[in-house]
């Protein structure tokens, strides 16, 4: 079977795509998989690192503000459609899978025009524009939240959850390895701060002046900053001069990072939420307010309403986030409640269920 998987732009699109590919290969090692992404985006580096081939399209998004870059959008979209049609002709996929992001549009449209069955994987509780447009051509739409009939035809929807990497599911077995990797002490509480693959300015600027508060409380910090903030973070870590605080631009071994975490502070992207459900860690979510249709707040509220996470609004984070985090670290009963509740929302078989839907479409 030949399968094309298209999309990307953020880790929230890329890692579910890789998880689906891994499951397809596990079910049938003879499956041929080709990724299609957007030139210059992070999938062009992350996908080959995972062992798969990827082809880039020149497609770009439309910026919300008026900019000269938007003038290039129609030209790049047209070039991307032509290149996508060539990719489909050459690779001859049996099924095309779109995970959202710029590259999904041209590729799934080109595949559908050739009569190739298409599957969409929508990670968020509020459907993205690309997926809403593509839904009319897709034969199957795999979702992670209830109520998605508001965006897609009900007969096409399958509730699967979001696929995550296999190693995340076994994070509880990685505590010793995590303590070694991050050079931490096993008898101290640890806060893991993750702002997505590119980092989160609000989280970073909340953490930067507050590191001494964690040190004074005897709390260890594992802080993923994203590449743009790492130098400022390293300067802040050097200023407190304590082995309790570690800053990284990117963490590849997320299973080990979750393993050491007593509390996780995170944005509320779909992938992060799905991973937190699987690892069952007490979480404080700070949704990114500029996400399309404020979907991160909707993602977060799906947990908060079930007493499965705490919420701090982005605009309040710089004044409230650190205190909320320290208070949660000091409240064992609340941490136990959050951990118990968030585990009930996990969908550990999401990647397999989506892979099975792909195979059904081929048949």
Residue 67 CA, chain-centre distance (Å), reads 28
- 274, 144 contact by CB (below 8 A): yes
Cβ atoms of 237 and 246 within 8 Å: the answer is yes
To the nearest 10°, report the CA torsion of 115, 62, 250, 323.
-120
| Residue 302 known to bind ligand | no
The values of phi and psi at residue 184, to 5°, are -115, 160
292 belongs to an annotated ligand binding site: no
Strand arrangement, sheet containing 310-311: 245-248, 220-224, 190-194, 263-266, 283-285, 310-311
The span from the CA of 141 to the CA of 158, in Å, is: 6
Does 12 belong to an annotated binding site? yes
- Is 307 labeled as ligand-binding? no
10 is annotated as contributing to ligand binding: yes
Annotated binding residue 296: yes
Q: Is 271 a known ligand-binding residue?
A: yes
224 is in an annotated binding site: no
- Integer-rounded Cα radius of gyration of the chain: 21
Annotated ligand binding at 204? The verdict is no
The answer to whether 274 is a known ligand-binding residue is: yes
Query: Residue 231, SS3?
Result: helix
- Confirm or deny that 124 is annotated as ligand binding: yes
279 among the known binding-site residues? no
273 annotated as a binding-site residue = yes
Asked whether residue 272 is marked as a ligand-binding residue, the answer is yes
Backbone angles phi, psi at 35, to 5 degrees: -95, 145
H/E stretch holding 194 reads: strand 190-194
CA distance 16 to 35: 12
- Give the residue ranges of the annotated binding site: 10-12, 124, 165, 197, 251, 270-275, 296
- Binding-site residue positions for UDP-N-acetyl-alpha-D-glucosamine: 10-12, 124, 165, 197, 251, 270-275, 296
């Amino acid at each position: 079977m030949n399968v094309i998987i298209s999309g990307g732009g953020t880790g929230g699109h890329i890692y579910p795509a890789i998880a689906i590919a891994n499951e397809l290969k596990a079910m049938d090692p003879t499956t041929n998989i080709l990724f299609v992404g957007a030139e210059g985006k992070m999938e062009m580096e992350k996908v080959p690192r995972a062992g798969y081939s990827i082809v880039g399209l020149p497609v770009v998004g439309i910026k919300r503000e008026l900019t000269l870059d938007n003038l290039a959008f129609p030209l790049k979209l047209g070039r991307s459609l032509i290149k996508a049609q060539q990719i489909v002709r050459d690779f001859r996929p049996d099924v095309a899978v779109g995970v959202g992001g710029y590259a999904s549009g041209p590729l799934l449209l080109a595949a559908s025009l050739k009569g190739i069955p298409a599957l969409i994987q929508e990670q968020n509780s509020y459907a993205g524009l690309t997926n809403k447009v593509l839904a009319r051509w897709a034969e199957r739409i795999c979702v992670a939240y209830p109520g998605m009939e508001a965006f897609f035809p009900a007969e096409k929807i399958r509730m699967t959850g979001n696929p995550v990497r296999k190693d995340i599911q076994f994070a509880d077995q990685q505590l010793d390895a995590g303590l070694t990797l991050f050079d931490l002490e096993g008898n101290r509480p640890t806060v893991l701060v993750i702002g997505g693959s590119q980092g989160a300015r609000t989280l970073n600027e909340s953490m930067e002046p507050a590191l001494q508060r964690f040190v004074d409380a005897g709390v260890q910090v594992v802080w993923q900053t994203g590449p743009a903030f790492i130098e400022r973070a390293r300067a802040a870590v050097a200023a407190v001069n304590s082995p309790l605080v570690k800053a990284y631009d990117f963490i590849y071994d997320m299973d080990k990072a979750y393993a050491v975490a007593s509390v996780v502070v995170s944005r509320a992207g779909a992938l992060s939420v799905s991973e937190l459900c699987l690892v069952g860690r007490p979480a404080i979510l700070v949704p990114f307010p500029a996400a399309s249709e404020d979907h991160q707040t909707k993602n977060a509220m799906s947990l908060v309403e079930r007493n499965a996470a705490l919420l701090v609004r982005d605009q309040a984070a710089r004044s409230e986030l650190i205190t909320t985090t320290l208070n949660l670290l000091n409240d064992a009963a609340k941490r136990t409640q959050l951990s118990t509740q968030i585990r009930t929302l996990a969908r550990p078989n999401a990647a397999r269920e989506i892979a099975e839907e792909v195979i059904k479409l081929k048949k």
